[in-house]
Amino acid sequence: MSETADIQATNDEAVQEDTPKRIPQPDKITNKDLMKSWFGWWWANEVPHTFDRMLAPSFCFGLIPSLKKLYKDHDELAKAFQRHLLFFNTQATWGGGTLTGVTISLEEARAKAMANGEEAISEDMINNTKVGLMGPLAGIGDSIDSGTVQYIFIAIFLPFAQKGNFLGALLPFLCFSIATFIYGYYLTKMGYTLGRNAAKEIMTGGRMAGIIDGLGVMGLYMMGILAGQYITVKSYLKFDINQKTFDVQKILDTIMPGMLPLLTVVLLYLYFQKQGLKITRGLLYLTGALIVLSIFYII
């Protein structure tokens, strides 16, 4: 009788081992969850920066609220934390926002497939998607955020700083933070909705291409205003004809105020376009030309 009971217990254990582990169904991801994940990444972006993992701790920290809703099984949740602690580095809004949404979308698909006993997205696919997109998205984000949006706000509030108002230093930073937070959340939602196709939408999509072109035009417009207001190039050339003095600068002001500053910026732009972005050499050539022209009292 005892031997029979032992055999039965052994058979029960074997059946339990052969039976696949039941994975609980994930909860639905809501906009609130996406906001929590985006805010976590945005807030902790550079806080736990490490040389071996770069921004991976920040990214994992942001994903925690969503991952906890997707993986009710402790072991699967631990695996999710571990795979998002691998090396990760990208720009905060365009890269981090988009990839936050994309990653949550992929993790949700994996969690649902595992709960339903279907073939799930592999861990390597999730990580490879992040690694493959973090570079291109970072390039877009750096050129737009750091190269355009940031300087638009600086140009707007620069007159405050020139007058000694502390808002000239505070408001550009504040407005830049608010603006990037808002459209970073939009990119997070878009990444979640489109999944792995989000990067294609950003790089080639009509809506995002229009936004990028609009920001570029606005940035050039603001740079033109800055060139006209804060770059001073005047001509001191005067000459007499029939006992009448002609002041070149006054003539230019009647034709087009700010012509010489604009001409200086255009010549520099053409030089950079033809020779490449050799800033030091361009500034040296410009300085030399201005010295020579000033010797002859031309400018």
Distance CA(143)–CA(111), nearest Å, equals 35
Distance CA(92)–CA(183), nearest Å, equals 11
CB contact burial 279-297 (16+ within 10 A = b; e otherwise): eeebeeeeeeeeeeeeeee
What are the Cα distances from residue 219, in Å, to 1, 76, 95, 225, 283?
A: 87, 46, 21, 10, 22
Write down the H helix ranges in 195-247: 198-204, 206-230
Give the phi and the psi of residue 208 in degrees, each rounded to 5: -70, -35
Comparing 59-63, 65-69, 156-160, 179-183, which segment has the lowest mean pLDDT? 156-160
% residues pLDDT > 90 (the chain): 24
Distance CA(213)–CA(220), nearest Å, equals 11
Comparing 27-36, 44-53, 117-126, 201-210, which segment has the lowest mean pLDDT? 201-210
Q: Is the per-residue pLDDT at 283 higher than 80?
A: yes
Token pair, residue 99, equals 């990839």
Report residue 140 CA to chain centroid gap: 7
Region 65-80: mean pLDDT is 92
Report residue 88 CA to chain centroid gap: 14
Give the phi and the psi of residue 205 in degrees, each rounded to 5: -70, 150
Q: Domain ranges for the chain, please list them.
A: 31-226, 234-295
**How high is the pLDDT of residue 50?**
81
Distance CA(118)–CA(114), nearest Å, equals 6
| Mean pLDDT of all residues belonging to the chain | 81
**How high is the pLDDT of residue 35?**
95
pLDDT band at 185, cuts 50/70/90? very high
**How high is the pLDDT of residue 206?**
55
Region 111-131: mean pLDDT is 86
pLDDT tens string 235-267: 777 777 777 777 777 877 787 777 788 788 888
Q: Is the per-residue pLDDT at 167 higher than 90?
A: no
DSSP state of 50: B
Predicted TM-score (pTM) of this structure: 0.67
Angle at 169 between CA 168 and CA 171, to 5 degrees: 70
Higher pLDDT, 154 or 199: 154
**How high is the pLDDT of residue 14?**
43
Comparing 35-39, 103-107, 144-148, 168-172, which segment has the lowest mean pLDDT? 144-148
Distance CA(212)–CA(218), nearest Å, equals 10
pLDDT tens string 205-219: 555 566 566 666 666
Three-state DSSP class for residue 241: strand
In 3D space, the residue among 157, 163, 83 whose CA is nearest the CA of residue 127 turns out to be 83
Question: Which amino acid is present at 108?
Answer: E
pLDDT band at 227, cuts 50/70/90? low
